[in-house]
Amino acid sequence: MTSQDQSSVAGATDADGRPDFLVRLGVMLPCSEEDVKQAYLAKAKVMHPDVGGDHDHFVELQTDYERAVHYCKFHSGRSRWLAESIERYVAQQQVVDDIQKRGGRVTLDHLDWLKREIGEDFAQVLDTIAGIRLTGPKFGDADLEFLLARRPLLDTLHWVDLSRSQVTNAGLLRLSAFGGLRKIDLRETAIGNAGMALVKSLPNLEWLGLTGSRVNWFGRFRLRRWAPELQIG
């Protein structure tokens, strides 16, 4: 594949034909998923917020990693990659349907940067679940257990809206399995200080809705100590 072809797949490229995300990861062409993984791990050791790294830069690193993995899978064998993507899409769509049957709502994200290569007809197989809304008193811990049981298909989940739900502190802590979460809405819930321990296990968390919850001044004080850049709504 020529540099021009690669540019159509990934957007901006370096002078040697590498997509911008490979340049930022420091990965040369040709590359494998293992190359990408090792480059990511090396950078994560010094960029993670827990070791003094910038939160926004760490989020960008993770985004670059996700795109680089897709890039490697795509270029290692288009037919196999597309078949795997379709298989995942079918399973993911079942999860979407099940959430909607429970009364929830799902927001999908799109990998537009690959559409020109595979065509519009296949574009939707690249959709990933970005957000889930489970709002209102009919939702509770059982719904979080439902999500946990489908964790492999929700590894792209970035936000969850649990406002006005019946989720408990113990149930909320189970969300620690979703390390990519950036926003959680807990407004008007019974969540209290005990549930705030979740923040320690979510390095990407940017916003937390707590208005009308049972998190008091002390709980908010501890949040400021644990995650000084966290926005609280």
CATH number of the domain that 58 lies in? 1.10.287
Answer for the pair 223, 196: CB distance below 8 angstroms, yes or no: yes
Q: Where are the beta strands (DSSP E) in 35-188?
A: 105-109, 128-133, 159-161, 183-185
User: pLDDT truncated to tens, each residue of the chain (233 aa)?
Assistant: 333 333 334 445 555 668 888 889 998 887 888 888 898 899 888 888 888 888 888 888 888 888 888 788 777 776 677 777 788 889 999 999 999 999 999 999 876 656 655 566 666 777 889 999 999 999 999 999 999 999 999 999 999 999 999 999 999 999 999 999 999 999 999 999 999 999 999 989 999 999 999 999 999 999 999 999 899 99
Number of Cβ atoms within 10 Å of the Cβ of 32: 12
Considering the domain architecture, whether residues 72 and 89 belong to the same structural domain is answered as: no
Considering the domain architecture, whether residues 19 and 1 belong to the same structural domain is answered as: yes
Report how far residue 176's alpha carbon sits from residue 137's, in angstroms, rounded to the nearest whole number. Answer: 22
Question: Which pair of structure tokens corresponds to residue 36?
Answer: 């990408």
Considering the domain architecture, whether residues 64 and 100 belong to the same structural domain is answered as: no
Overall domain count for the chain: 2
Considering the domain architecture, whether residues 138 and 118 belong to the same structural domain is answered as: yes
Domain that holds residue 123: 85-233
| pLDDT value at residue 5 | 38
Number of Cβ atoms within 10 Å of the Cβ of 8: 14
Report how far residue 110's alpha carbon sits from residue 124's, in angstroms, rounded to the nearest whole number. Answer: 8
| pLDDT value at residue 87 | 86
Q: What backbone torsions phi and psi does residue 117 show, to the nearest 5 degrees?
A: -85, -40
Considering the domain architecture, whether residues 31 and 63 belong to the same structural domain is answered as: yes
- Domain end, chosen from 76, 99, 133, is at 76
